[in-house]
Amino acid sequence: MKRPTCLTRTALSTALTLALLPLASQAASSRSAAYFERVATFPVYRNLGADEDASKQTVAEITAVSRDGRTLIYTDSPGERIGLVDIRDPKSPKSAGFVQLEGEPTSVAVHQHFALVAVNTSLSFAQPDGVLAVFDIRNPAQPKRVATLPMGGQPDSIAISPKGRYAAVAIENERDEDLNDGLIPQLPGGFLRIVDLKGQPSRWSTRDVDLTGLAEIAAEDPEPEYVSINDQDVAAVTLQENNHIVLVDLRRGRVLRHFSAGQVDLEGVDVEENDRIEPVGVLKAKRREPDAISWVGPLVATANEGDYQDANGDEGGSRSFTLFDFNGRVWYEAGASMEHAFIRAGHYPESRSENKGIEPEGIASASFRKQDFLFVGSERGNAVAVYDVAHPWAPVMHQLLPAGMGPEGILPIPARNLLVVSSEEDSAEDGYRSTISIYQYGAKKTSYPEIRSTDSALIPWGALSGMVADRTQANRLYAVPDSYYEASRIFKIDTSKTPAIIDGQTALRKAGGTVNYDLEGIAQAANGDFWLASEGDGKNKPNLLIRANAAGNVLQEYALPANVAAQQTSSGFEGVSVVGEGASTRVYVVFQREWKNDPAGKARIGVLDPASGEWGFYHYPLDPAVEGGWVGLSELTSIGNGQFLVIERDNQQGPAAEVKRLYRIDLSGKQPAAEDQTFPLVTKRLERDLLPELKSTGGWVLDKVEGAAVDKQGRLFVVTDNDGVEDASGETRFMRLGTVKR
């Protein structure tokens, strides 16, 4: 084996040029590369035993795969165990059980037919300890523990060298964030432990590489976080809190190079948590503080998460990724570009604006069918950005993949044309679960996002809650966001393109200033005015119908009569529709669920005569709800001659989702009744069951099916509300569901 050497900058440039030639030659073919397509999502709780509570917290953090590519092994930190998933059929992953450990697993890797699991057994932060547990997984159904190697400290990341000669374990000895305001140094410091993989696991030997005295920040207390090994047996190690990168020759067990991860200036980022996405801020000299690291040919790529706030209160994390060469020279800095891509896809977490934005954490690289890719996961944006690195010094975004909440582990499996992403956030109480997402390479076109904002302007969007088609323009829809965002607005959508493009927005204004409605529905009148439904909160915020002109100026607000408003609950106005014109104009609005004086299982449809201000009502029969859940209405769309489409949905998601339906109702010949009368009962007919379409992309079934529109050609569009990427994955489905008979 040719030993790694300390290269001069001139020699390095020559080496880089030679090394990158094969990659550069692939650039032309890379432009016609195939795409990754999600084929399955495995909720980790399904691996729980029959005797375990399905609501128990269980997560998938870091994932590895058996040598034959048929079994996933993942770390479940809260459960102090590793889990196994059978992916012989990647479109139908199956639970394969757990293996209990003596502590918290932090990472896992596979060497030959052995699974190597880093286990944290520390008594305290001041007394860090851990082991490397080695399992024979030739029979994945019954992993057999064959060795336990002391690690001499608290282990974190583990990697296996491509030639199988070494394992490298980052012994982090992490800091106590509650001690001394979380500042380092907090001894003992961490180090890198090398495992020589020679012979049987019981005979593997270990060596340590001292990492102290290298970083400018707390040099005596290195905290190695992540490790990646290239085909020359050089380990790249991130010292996240120290903002440093170290390159280690594993054969000799010595440091070859080390350098600061440096700082970066960011422009065009949202830096204020004010319920608005405003990417206009500037951040100066942000430490990168990289988490994951991956070799990309002769370069190393870092996911710059940030995890440390210094004594001055300055927090690291540059919301991006960076490519460095062997000497620490920056060849590429993503800056704000990745975050902007997330904004355009509706995946920006506004609630993290004062922290670290989308917070890139995981990173990996691999070649699929001779196409070179870099995968960068956003912990807060809940998606993985895929970059074409045919030119590693100039990555080009290839596609964006939706994931579960908190994607942590990124595992390419090129031999099977698979990519696996493990997402660790899990809360049965809040309705979301930790998942393992499986993607297959080879699709002819990208399937996500299904809706995004234009490249010509940076238009932030999310939480789409109501939708309508333009009465005269083909391929033009309008949508509104709910109260997750302030400064209510109307988005313009071009459906002639795939994905659909949000190419404009109109801010609503009243008395010269912006307004903050909880918009849940939008309709367009014959004269081009918009009617909007704003949901009340059952307390101080009233339910309102709002008429605004095409320029967004609020012309009038219509509230419910006092005797009706007295019956309100927190489930108020949702979809709205308008029919007729002039004196015959009538505005219809659905109420999400029953109000105080409504019979059980009967929600209202209200009708307003704007000229007189009079209201009338119908009752709509709701489908039964699952135990512990509810069913309500989300949208109302006129399709002519007194007929409407109604979205009826439950509040369940994932495997628990049952009611996601589109019904047709006919109100012609039925007169609404006053509040003190018996309301006519609507008859409904199932138009579409939306659940098959929601399941068709292999993802977590989304809760809030909120908007529907039927355009001039009779084409049906349905959109989901992504809840502003807070306690939700941020994924938005924009479904094209064929035509509807008017």
pLDDT, tens only, 593-640 = 999 999 999 999 999 999 999 999 999 999 999 998 999 999 999 999
Rounded to an integer, what distance in angstroms lies between the CA atom of residue 643 and that of residue 664?
7
Residue 19 has pLDDT above 70, yes or no: no
Q: Which residues, listed in sequence order, are joined to residue 224 by a DSSP beta bridge?
A: 239
Mean pLDDT of 229-245: 98
C-alpha to C-alpha distance for 467 and 462, rounded to whole angstroms: 13
User: Which 3 state secondary structure label does DSSP give 254?
Assistant: strand
- Distance between CA atoms of 84 and 73, rounded to whole angstroms? 5
| 425, 78 Cβ separation under 8 angstroms | no
Task: Give 123: exposed, middle or buried? Use CB within 10 Å, 0-12, 13-18, 19+.
Answer: exposed
Give the E-state strand segments of 414-508 in sequence order. Answer: 418-423, 435-443, 451-453, 464-469, 476-481, 489-494, 500-507
SS3 347: coil
Contacts of 182 (CB under 8 A, 6+ apart): 175, 176, 308, 309
pLDDT tens, residue by residue, 299-336: 999 999 998 998 888 889 999 999 999 999 999 999 99
Cα gap 645→729, rounded to integer Å: 28
The pLDDT of residue 337 is above 80: yes
Pairing of strands 451-453, 500-507: parallel
Q: Give yes or no for a contact between 82 and 74, defined as CB atoms under 8 angstroms apart.
A: yes
Strand (E) or helix (H) holding 201: none
721 closest CA partner among 710, 709, 707, 708: 707
With contact defined as beta carbons under 8 Å apart, do 296 and 365 qualify?
A: yes
Tell me the C-alpha distance between 303 and 184, whole Å.
22
Longest dimension (CA), the chain: 90
pTM of the model: 0.95
pLDDT-derived band at 32 (thresholds 50, 70, 90) equals: low
Structure tokens at 395: 């990555």
Neighbours of 150 (CB within 10 A): 12
- The answer to whether residue 549 scores a pLDDT higher than 60 is yes
Q: Which amino acid would we find at residue 549?
A: N
Confidence of residue 141 (pLDDT cuts 50, 70, 90): confident
Instruction: Pick the closest to residue 375 from 364, 388, 390 (CA basis).
Output: 364
pLDDT given at position 314: 87
Q: Given this model, what pLDDT does residue 230 score?
A: 98
Strands 299-304 and 320-324: antiparallel
- Give the least confident one: 373-377, 464-468, 667-671, 735-739: 667-671
Nearest to 698 by CA among 10, 33, 38, 11: 38
Helix (H) or strand (E) holding 722: none
Per the CB < 8 A criterion, the answer to whether 372 and 389 are in contact is: yes
Question: Rounded to whole angstroms, what are the CA distances from 289 to 240, 263, 409, 469?
Answer: 5, 9, 18, 46
Q: How many CB atoms lie within 10 A of CB 348?
A: 28
Phi, then psi, of 522 in degrees rounded to 5: -145, 140
* SS3 annotation, 169-182: EEECCCCCCCCHHH
Instruction: Specify the length of the chain in residues.
Output: 742
To which residue do tokens 């282990």 refer?
A: 155
Phi–psi pair at 507, nearest 5 degrees? -75, 140
- Listed by start position, the domains of the chain span 452-739
Q: Which amino acid is at 208?
A: D
**340, pLDDT greater than 50:** yes
State how far the Cα of 519 lies from the Cα of 543, in Å rounded to an integer: 10
* Rounded-to-10 torsion of CA 694, 452, 441, 361: -100
Q: Which helix (H) or strand (E) holds 588?
A: strand 586-591
User: Is residue 615 within 8 Å of residue 544, measured between CB atoms?
Assistant: no
- Could you tell me which of 154, 167, 325 has the C-alpha nearest to residue 224? 154
Query: Which backbone phi and psi does 442 adopt, to 5 degrees?
Result: 135, -5
For the cut 70, the answer to whether the pLDDT of residue 122 exceeds it is yes
**In 3D, which of 187, 164, 165, 168 has the Cα closest to residue 176?**
187
pLDDT band at residue 155 using 50, 70 and 90 as cut-offs: very high
Looking at residue 613, its amino acid is G
Q: Got the DSSP string for 593-627?
A: S--TTSPTTEEEEEEEETTTTEEEEEEEEPPPPPT
Topology adopted by domain 452-739 = Tachylectin-2; Chain A (2.115.10)
